[in-house]
Amino acid sequence: MSGKHIIYALLLSIAGLVIQSTLFGESRINPFGAAPNLVLVLVVICAAYLEAEPALLVAFTSGLLMDLLGGSTIGLWAIALVVAAYVTLRVRDRIDDGVVVVAAGLLALSVLGHAIFAIASTLFGEQVFADPGWYRQIVLPSLYNLVVAAILIPLVSRAMGGRQVRRMV
């Protein structure tokens, strides 16, 4: 694993942030009141290709940037993305089990990332669960993430030099 791949992962994450904040969301593309979470998808996919430590650091940096560009307390998305990346590192050996397993895993990781954020936000006084439609803000983006992942996986794979998914944590 070269530093080049880590930089590519960071650049992909930054590009994801810029696209997320200008193309998706309220008053942008927002089908049924929700949009995919590009950064979360990119962090999970990159974690499948990078070594463990760089993958966690990329997740932490991406989360911190999300917090700084969003409206939440700094550190909450960092927590959510670091947890999502760590779980990805632990289960990425199962990636050869087929498309269905990968899709189910990605869906579960997306739900986990959003749920961790919602819980951490509540702990820090943000009233995420005061929104009666909070579950939609967790489930719908996770479903959209599956569609987005179908486009992003080949892109990330190419950025990582077509390398195989890593086996060891």
Partner 1 sequence: MQSFRRFDRSTSLFIGLLIVSFLTATIDVRSQGAGIGDTLRDGTQSLFSPLQEAASVITRPVVGFVDGISNIAGLRDENERLRDRNKELEAQAQNVAGLQNRLEELERINNLDPPGDVLDVTAHIFSVGVSPFDHIRWINRGTEDGVVVGHTVVDEDGLVGRVDYVDETTARVRLITDTRNGVGVRDLDTNETGVAEGQGSAPLRLRMFNAVEPIEKGHLIVTEGGRYAPGIVVGSVATTAEAEAGFSLIAEVTPAVDFSRIDFVKVLVGWLPSEFTAPDDLSEPIPDAPDPFPGS
When asked if residue 49 is in the footprint of partner 1 (CB under 8 A), the reply is: no
Amino acid at 25: G
When asked if residue 3 is in the footprint of partner 1 (CB under 8 A), the reply is: no
Burial of 127 (0-12, 13-18, 19+ CB in 10 A): exposed
Instruction: Choose which of 132, 151, 162, 167 interacts with partner 1 (CB under 8 A).
Output: 132
Minimum distance from residue 166 beta carbon to partner 1 (Å): 11
For helices 136-159 and 99-123, give the axis angle rounded to 10 degrees.
120
When asked if residue 83 is in the footprint of partner 1 (CB under 8 A), the reply is: yes
Instruction: Choose which of 119, 128, 143, 165 interacts with partner 1 (CB under 8 A).
Output: 128
When asked if residue 114 is in the footprint of partner 1 (CB under 8 A), the reply is: yes
| Neighbouring C-beta atoms of residue 47, cutoff 10 Å | 29
Nearer to partner 1, 38 or 102 (CB): 38
Nearer to partner 1, 8 or 60 (CB): 60
How far is 106 from 101, CA to CA, in rounded Å? Answer: 8
For helices 38-49 and 99-123, give the axis angle rounded to 10 degrees.
120
What one-character DSSP code corresponds to residue 51? -
Minimum distance from residue 62 beta carbon to partner 1 (Å): 10
How far is 50 from 137, CA to CA, in rounded Å? Answer: 29
Interface residues with partner 1 (CB under 8 A)?
A: 17-31, 33-35, 37, 39, 52-53, 56-57, 60, 63-66, 68-79, 82-83, 86, 89, 114, 117-118, 120-121, 124-128, 130-134, 136-138, 140-141, 169
